[in-house]
Amino acid sequence: MYEAWPYAKGIGGGLQIAPNGMHVLAELGLADEMIRRGSIAESFDFYSQSGRRLGSINRNMKARFGQPAVNMCRAALNEVLVDKAWCANAALHFEKRLAHIEDRADQPIVAHFTDGSSAEGDFLIGADGVHSAVRAHVIPDGPKPFDTGLIGFGGFVPRSLLENTPVGQRVETTFGQSGFFGYGFCSSNPADGVMWWSTQPAHGVAAADFRAMSQDQLRQHLRDFHAGWHDPVPQIVDAAENIVVTDTLDVATLPTWSRKRTLLIGDAAHATSPHAGQGASLALEDAMRLGRLMRDGQELGLTFQNFEHERRPRAEKIVAVARRNGNSKREFSATGAWIRDHMLKLLLPVSARGMDWMYAYDPRAA
């Protein structure tokens, strides 16, 4: 495995791994550790900007789907996966940024890195995310990531901030007239026990411009944006430190996921905007399904075709859900927001049942 960045701990925000992704972690023997280091999410609850409860979904996930949904720090997940790979004697190389790929007949496939070094093998799997360099090899002049017009802010606040509120193990989220806010416990560590995120229309301001701001300026921006939102949103914003700014990107459907001996998986193949909370679980599923198919020992091209045939319909359905969900976080008129909130209240129970297929998927049984 060749990774562009140095090995580092403690980087990234919080995320939720859904039951379908937890099945993969269970297969790797890592589910219990991630439950211990993270926090089981007992439901996903929705509120209006003024704090009116709109509904609650994703209850009893473990009973219904065999695994719970688990909130965790991205850094903890990364650390556990890397440790597991090291223990299995996998060769991990850091600070190796792929520049280009050479795939000549009758020779090994070669990955060339920006430091001038290279590595060769029988095939190459591109798991290099939304900005994938491998994608440019598989589909030269293919689709590029585009900005969805929403911008994300996120980070952690201490557990003590929520310990006296009735949030319990719920993930609480709020639809504003413009934008969206969410928070929930994600770790037993007192310092970073609560993850939070804010999604807002970017209004033409690039993520880079926000990243150039000081933490005080970012906090003030969030205070202004979420002014008047129900408690504890203002308290979380006031306590926020090390605020991370993220673009909200999407990539159009790719015409193919492979070319000769190279295959794309995860966000490189089907970048998923964050609004379905499924991108990381899908990437875990991909890795496991590909591993299983490769073990069957069929010819490489056929394995890649079978992988795409099996995975594409599910991935594209989830990408479409994420796009649809993102639309409810844009800017509404006061009347539009009122109608949206009432529709949500009426439709949430029905639409939640309609999402069970996402969580019910067990990649071990597929």
Q: Which is nearer to ligand FAD, 193 or 266 (CB)?
A: 266
Q: Which is nearer to ligand FAD, 2 or 123 (CB)?
A: 2
Measured in Å, how far apart are the chain's first and last C-alpha atoms?
A: 26
Distance of closest approach, residue 297 Cβ to ligand FAD, in angstroms: 25
Rounded distance between C-alpha atoms, residue 113 and residue 99, angstroms = 5
Residue nearest ligand FAD, CB atom distance:
279
Distance of closest approach, residue 63 Cβ to ligand FAD, in angstroms: 21
Q: Which is nearer to ligand FAD, 127 or 337 (CB)?
A: 127
Q: Which is nearer to ligand FAD, 73 or 127 (CB)?
A: 127
Q: What is the 3-state secondary structure (H, E, C) of 81-128?
A: HHHHHHHCCCCCECCCCEEEEECCCCCCEEEEECCCCEEEECCEEECC
Rounded distance between C-alpha atoms, residue 203 and residue 99, angstroms = 33
Distance of closest approach, residue 346 Cβ to ligand FAD, in angstroms: 26
Distance of closest approach, residue 180 Cβ to ligand FAD, in angstroms: 12
Q: Which is nearer to ligand FAD, 114 or 188 (CB)?
A: 114
Distance of closest approach, residue 335 Cβ to ligand FAD, in angstroms: 30
User: Measured at the alpha carbon of residue 131, what is the angle toward residues 310 and 117, in degrees to the nearest 5?
Assistant: 100
Q: Which is nearer to ligand FAD, 271 or 341 (CB)?
A: 271
Asked if residue 108 has a cis previous peptide bond (ω within 30° of 0), the answer is: no
Distance of closest approach, residue 342 Cβ to ligand FAD, in angstroms: 27
Distance of closest approach, residue 288 Cβ to ligand FAD, in angstroms: 13
Residue type, 218: L
* 3 state SS of 140: coil
Under DSSP, the state recorded for 6 is P
Distance of closest approach, residue 266 Cβ to ligand FAD, in angstroms: 2
Strand partners for 246: 152
Q: Which is nearer to ligand FAD, 15 or 162 (CB)?
A: 15
Distance of closest approach, residue 81 Cβ to ligand FAD, in angstroms: 10
**Are 308 and 258 in contact, with CB atoms under 8 Å apart?**
yes
Q: Which is nearer to ligand FAD, 98 or 341 (CB)?
A: 98
**Are 44 and 70 in contact, with CB atoms under 8 Å apart?**
no
Which two tokens mark 148?
């969805």
**Are 175 and 20 in contact, with CB atoms under 8 Å apart?**
no
Q: Which is nearer to ligand FAD, 101 or 293 (CB)?
A: 101
Which two tokens mark 39?
């926090």
* Contact positions vs ligand FAD (CB under 6 A): 2-5, 15-16, 97-98, 127-129, 131, 133, 152, 154, 246, 266-268, 272, 274, 277-281, 283
Which two tokens mark 12?
């990234």
Assign residue 209 a region: left if phi > 0, alpha if psi is -120 to 50, beta otherwise? alpha
Quick count: other Cβ atoms within 10 Å of Cβ 243?
22
**Per-position b or e across 98-110, b if 16+ CB within 10 A of its CB:** beebebeeeeebe
